[in-house]
Structure 1
Amino acid sequence: MTTTVSVMKRISGNNIVSPLGFKAAGIHCGIKYKKHDLALLVSEVPASVAGVFTTNAVQAAPLLVTKEAVKKMGKMQAIIINSGNANACTGKQGMVDARLMQVETAEKLGISPNLVGVASTGVIGELMRMEPIVKGIHKLEPNSQLEGSIHFSQAILTTDTITKNTAYCALIDGKEIIIAGTAKGSGMINPNMATMLGFITTDANVESVHLQAALKSVTNLTFNAITVDGDTSTNDMVLLLANGMAGNVTLTPAHPDWEVFVQALHAVSQDLAKMIAKDGEGATKLIEAEVKGAVSDEEARKIAKTVVGSPLVKTAVFGCDANWGRIIAAVGYSGATVDPDAISIQIGKITVVEKGEPIEYSEEKLISYLKQPEVKIVVQLSQGSGQGKAWGCDLTYDYVQINATYRS
């Protein structure tokens, strides 16, 4: 009997070590003044690995080292991450430092350096101070307890105000598998990928080639559907490790439970993506745009992301200004196929435009709705069957303050 999505559910704990065979740790090593800044994630056995990476042509040294490891091995057993310094635009020395992090981690764990991924986040253009990092690597003691997971999620943060964690379980071949994720991201967010790091673990048994296809498809619907400020960074990635310790039959797209696995992966990724958007630097509100009736799903997602990325829409939401003209303008300049006379718009449950014509509504009720912590905008195009969503946040005074003083 084919498993259905009813066997997928979110679980308590929400931590990166919830799947069997994973351990994590995070410490303060001295890159930052006092906050945790060095993290380690380890699988008991080499895991199948998939990765998606920034589309910025300028790519940081750790990202290049990790891409090489993913391509060469198709397996990964550990990921070492630092915050406080991006090790980006650091030339030949940056590559030397990233490889040193890889080698030192491998030495500590007694594994091949090719099984170690490296990730960094923080200030661009400054050389790493490697002495505290190397010493810190050898002080890390990963464990499978909640404490290790909490410290891990804290150590990867930069301007984030909260840690971002989630986990789901699902039945595969009658066996429970778990998919869990931890991410960081708050500003310089406009993936295809942006200043975000995402780490996803699962004890499901999946070969790397199929894991990569699943992650890529899910990323387009989740991590690539968020924007905070339209900037795409140099460092960022999502890595997915599947160690197979749940003992299920190897998953492929031909397996009757394949879609259950993909939907659980989608749920983890969407949770993390929305947490990143909601925690945008200085943000007070999460904005969700849903587009229906586009000529294709791709165009629907394009329009949705344009709406949540519009500075004028974002500032209107911040100011509780019921200015739907900014929304329809963003739809129009998105580059997608639209008919102005067919566009309808709802903010919350209040219709403000129908078939291109303004509709009378209670501005008082709409302003009251816009004061809520989550604002939903629905755009109906009546052009086809395409649909898609995107998430962003409001643009506030604090965003300017945070980024005006980031280095000082």
Structure 2
Amino acid sequence: MSDEWLVRLCPDGEPPRPGCSAVTIAAATEALGPGPVAWAAQLAPGMTEEIIRQVPEHGGGPAPFDTLRRSVESSVLAALAGFRHGIPVASAVVPKEALEGGREFARRAIPLDRVLRGIRLGHAALHRALMEVIGDDPDEVRRVSELLFGYADVHASTLAEEYIAERDRWVGSTAAQRRRVVEDLLAGRPVEAEAASRVLGYDVRSPHTALILSAADARTAPQVLQRLAAELAGTSGSLAVPASESSLWLWVGGPLAEARAGGPPKVAVPPGVRVAAGPPAAGIEGFRRSHLGARAAESIGISRGAVWCDYADVRVVALCTADPEQATWFVRETLGPLAADDERVAELRQTLRAYLAAGRSLQAAATDLHVARNTVTYRVKRAEELLGHPVAEDRLEVQLALEIAHWLPPRRSPRRRSAPLEAMYVHTPD
């Protein structure tokens, strides 16, 4: 058995943080070593994106992405351990994270054929990646290909059994009925308001503020999100719907929804938890509108590392980045060298943004940035040099491009493509 290629596996650059649990990572590290584990962590996000691209039902935001990524990453680790230790197909075991993912797919009513297609796509992507690193040993290529085919068959059949069992448990439950009503409301399907309110135990005709609570670490106890949801709702009517093991959708009605327009409530957000808030809106259409706004705020808030992100603060950016590719082109073409991924250039962008937001007042921008007025003068002048024209020309477009650049900074890892505008900036040497 020639598996030197496996022992030598290592990531290209710094890998992202593993998505699997600490227990799974520890067991995989003991079985494989740190290099192959980090390689799997780097490979999994790209595989996840490819599956969602071809099977969009698996997507729907950061929480579904993380669920699928954990399933993919754990499956890659299980396959590598099988290759390393010669585990026969008959003894192959589907990892815990993949089984949890299958149960969530059932609760989300993703059709089983689409779930199985996702498994096939994932194993095909893993096979391609393995063929690139194994080398020219035909015996090892044959061994790995045969084992991977067998593992994929076990994976698909086991997950199908788990999916069907969970679907049967879920379909008749009250939680399933509530989730179906929520999905109908969010999809814009015709729903009778009184009947929906009765099933949900929440008046969908009232004013709403939708929030999305999510934990950066999937190991965060669901009770943490539930307690935070209760604190945010206070004494107002509310509806909390678990979206995944690490994400919860919340609608708060009544006076609190109206008060939310003035800023976030005085509630301490636990470490490792993020909150995204949609715009206050009323009725069935408002139920959907506020949640979609919260989704947009969640995506932008994650890219910014924000603990609390309110749609009211990012709605212009949300509108401008609805088409990420067009937004990327817009920033590059509008800012030119001022879009460079460089700390000094980023400082110029920040200063120019503050200057324009202050109505082109040097003193107001200096006060806002806590720097000297002359510093603002110098930076604005330097920014205009990089722009190639005075900022007064095309001011609206420049201001929009700066706003996008401020809220959606690039990600440094070339393998992590989930951020909408990670490739936004022109890269220049220091």
TM-score by length of 2: 0.29
Counting strand residues as a fraction of each chain, which structure ranks higher?
1
Which of 1 and 2 has higher RCO (CA within 8 Å, sep 6+)? 1
Counting helix residues as a fraction of each chain, which structure ranks higher?
2
TM-score by length of 1: 0.30
